[in-house]
A and B are shown apart, each in its own frame.
Chain A
């Protein structure tokens, strides 16, 4: 068990080290927090549940419309961005990004990290 957790932590640490990333979390599709690197732990579990719901709702909406599975959900506000991507059938990855950084590199790294997480949890 510690091995898998260590590996998930490694994925999250790498993601957290990408410029502009403030927090990141691995979350199960049904909303349980797997692991996270966040400032405010009290809120991490709710954050996980909300993120899973957002991505799940977005997927349901687009699939029902015949538009396929969305690559990601991006939420923008004055204080920053939140990005959620699916990582296989069991999990998703969520990051929050500050408002000054371009998303380009973050999205590329997030895609890579999601693939790794998917492999780990198969």
Chain B
């Protein structure tokens, strides 16, 4: 089993890609997809594996530079990482790689080299930088036949095969095969426009070694950093003085607040980088006179933290009202029972009773000023946000 290194994807694939299996990253044209194969290479190398990159759309040196941009030092794995150069010969440039495809438009030669590698190397992760480029050079049918053979051979020799493939307007038959029977797993990567959210997502279309599939996740490509799951907006709301601003700052990698005289008059804004997630956090004011701004800020949220002061049950009515104002019903939300350090703080169970909350709404005890409970709350919310898309 190797890990893809893509956040959450390994979890959805029950740990990663088993030896002998093939996986394709099937990308719509125009999305940033090449990074998927690269992130998988880096992940496999980091775990001590052997990797082969078949470079057919850029020279191997450029690809090495791209790894660096993502902050991945692959030079340290020098003897475990091999490039197959199927690009330099195309432009008539010399190559210094060990494996060279002298005629990348000749599928027989291409296939001979790949099969040699499959037979000679110890179990490895073999990543094709761009299968579509090979198709453009050698023709759709021939490449499909070659891929069938490579995948079978890889199964016999315990390699993991990973392909980047861009779904240019090939024949429907080809595209159906790519999305269907040709590979053990298909991860589709595309772009979405939803109101004002312009994003990229990946989705498991198929995986023959896991039961539950059909999950999709928004992502961003960061340099450095690679693929991060992206959550454009998480809302932090709650009554006056409950600790919303403190919570936003405790959770965020960086954050700013528009506070005057100790109270938020506009918003808190923070950015969270945590466990492969990249999320933007919007904190609202709490006082009623700012309700128009609270309304203004709450659109497009994917999840909500409702922060309450556990010593102040008289505020719970206002807290409920704020869930309404922010249109949070229907979204995943988590209650932060804050200020647990103070005398007289209600326990989460008491909060649930007094608040009259359904059993399935998570209540996390927290001391925002000491960062206690904030990451736990984030993980709980993220789980329901990502489970629900």
Contacts and interface: CB of A to CB of B under 8 A. Distances in A.
Contacts of A28: 195-196, 299-300
Interface string A27-70: 01111101100000010011001101110110010000000000
B282 A31 contact: yes
Interface string B218-252: 00000000000000110000000000000000000
Nearest to A64: B292
B69 to A, nearest CB: 15
A57 B292 CA distance: 8
B195 A53 contact: no
B30 A29 contact: no
A90 interface: yes
A122 to B, nearest CB: 11
A55 to B, nearest CB: 9
Interface residues of B, number: 28
B22 to A, nearest CB: 28
A18 interface: no
Nearest to A90: B196
A5 interface: yes
B300 A56 contact: no
Of the four ranges (under 10, 10 to 19, 20 to 34, 35 or more), the interface on chain A belongs to 20 to 34
A90 B296 CA distance: 11
A121 B282 contact: no
A54 to B, nearest CB: 8
Contacts of A30: 196, 233, 296-300
A1 B267 contact: no
Nearest to B254: A42
A21 B280 CA distance: 27
Interface string B198-234: 1000000000000000000000000000000000110
B233 A1 contact: no
A29 B193 CA distance: 16
Contact of B271 (A45, A54, A57): A45
A30 B298 CA distance: 7
A46 B191 contact: no
Contacts of A5: 198
Interface string B288-303: 0000110011111000
A53 B300 contact: no
Contact of B193 (A4, A42, A54): A4
A102 B266 CA distance: 30
Given A31-B267, A45-B280, A53 B296 contact: yes
Contacts of A12: none
Contact of B232 (A2, A32, A56, A57): A32
Given A2-B191, A56-B293, A90-B196, A29 B299 contact: yes
Contacts of A1: 30, 190-193, 198
B67 to A, nearest CB: 21
By CB atoms of chain A within 10 A, which of B31, B190, B269, B298 has the most? B269
Interface in B261-277: 266-267, 269, 271
A30 B30 CA distance: 27
Contacts of A2: 30-31, 191
A85 interface: no
Contact of A50 (B191, B196, B258, B296): B258
Contacts of B269: 31, 45-46, 49-50
B256 interface: yes
Interface of B: 30-31, 190-193, 195-198, 232-233, 254, 256, 258, 266-267, 269, 271, 280, 282, 292-293, 296-300
16 contacts: A1-B30, A1-B192, A5-B198, A30-B297, A31-B282, A32-B196, A32-B197, A45-B280, A46-B269, A49-B269, A49-B280, A56-B296, A56-B297, A60-B292, A60-B293, A91-B196
When A and B form their complex, which 8 residue pairs have the shortest distance between CB atoms, in order from nearest?
A: A1-B191, A30-B299, A28-B196, A2-B30, A56-B296, A60-B292, A49-B269, A53-B266
